[in-house]
Amino acid sequence: MATIIPKSLPLVRTVTPALQFLRFRGKINIQRPKEPHYERARVIAVTQPKYPEPPKAVTCFRTRAQRTQHQLDNPYNEIIAREVRNWLDHSKLVAIFHLNSITADEVFRVRVQLYKQNLHLKSYGRKIIGQAVEGTRYEAILPLFHSNHCIIFSPDQQKISALLKITRKVPQMVLLGGIVEETMLSRNELMAYAQMPSLQAAQAQLVQTLNQAAGHLVQQLQTHQNNFVQVLDVHAKGENKKESAVDETQEKL
C-alpha cells in the first residue's frame, strides 16, 4: 500500500472554490417588474391580506342634487350672503360687470382707482348671490351671474360718470346692467343716466323755471297798474307845469 500511495500527496485533498462575478445583462425595470413564476404568483395570491369592506353610508345612495344640498346650509355662505344683501340694501348704485381674462395686478389697480371715488369692487359666487337675492326684489339680477363677474357698489348714485370713466380703460370689464335707486337699468340706460345733470343741478333748474314763471305772472298782473301810474304821473307833472306857469305870470304882473 505504501508503494501505491505516493508520499508527496496528502491523504485528504482540499478544493478551494473559485468565485466569478457576472453582471446582469438587462436593465432592471422598477416601474414594470417582471411577472413572478406561476408557482410564486400562486403563493403571493394566497398570502395577500384581505380587509373587510367598510359599510356604505346613506349618502352613497343619494343623488348628486341631494348630496350637494347641504352646501347651501354652510354657515360661512350664509354670512357672505347677508353681506351681499347688506350691500344691495344700502347702495344707491350697483353696477354688474362681466369679467374676462384679467390678471390679479390689473384687478388690484382698478380696485384702488374705484376706491378713491367711493366705489367698492366685489366678487362673489353665483350660489351666494342666489342665496342673497332669493325671494327679494333683487331676484331679477340673478340671470346676469352665469359666468365670471364682478360687482361695484356705491352709496352715491352720482358716481356713475366716474365709474364709466374708470372702467372704459379696462376692456376686460364689460358692463351688463345695474341698479340705481332701487331701479333696474340696462347698459344703455346707465350710460344715458350718466349724461344727465346731478340732482342738485336739476333742482336748481326747476327752481329757476318756477321763479321765472312766477315773476312773469306778477309782471303781467302789474302791467295795467304800472301803466295807469305812469299816466297819472305824466298828468300830474303837466298840471304842475301849468300852475308854475300861472304863478310866474302873476308875479310878473
Q: Give the pLDDT confidence of 182-233 residue by residue, as tens digits.
A: 888 888 888 888 887 777 777 788 888 888 777 777 777 777 777 777 877 7
pLDDT at residue 1 in the model? 43
pTM: predicted TM-score of the whole model, two decimal places? 0.55
pLDDT tens, residue by residue, 155-175: 888 888 899 999 999 989 999
Contact predicate 154/113, CB 8 Å: no
Q: 151: how many CB neighbours lie within 10 A of its CB?
A: 22
| Domain 70-195 annotated CATH 3.30.70.1730 | yes
Residues 6+ apart with CB under 8 A from 137: 182
Mean pLDDT calculated for residue range 34-44: 90
- CB-CB neighbours of 179 under 10 Å: 22
Q: What pLDDT is stored for residue 13 in this prediction?
A: 67
**Domains in the chain: boundaries:** 70-195
Rounded Cα distance, 78 and 94, in Å? 21
The Cα 133–Cα 85 span in angstroms is 7
pLDDT of 47 over the 70 cut: yes
Distance CA 184, CA 178 (A): 6
Handedness of CA 108, 112, 115, 119 (dihedral sign): negative
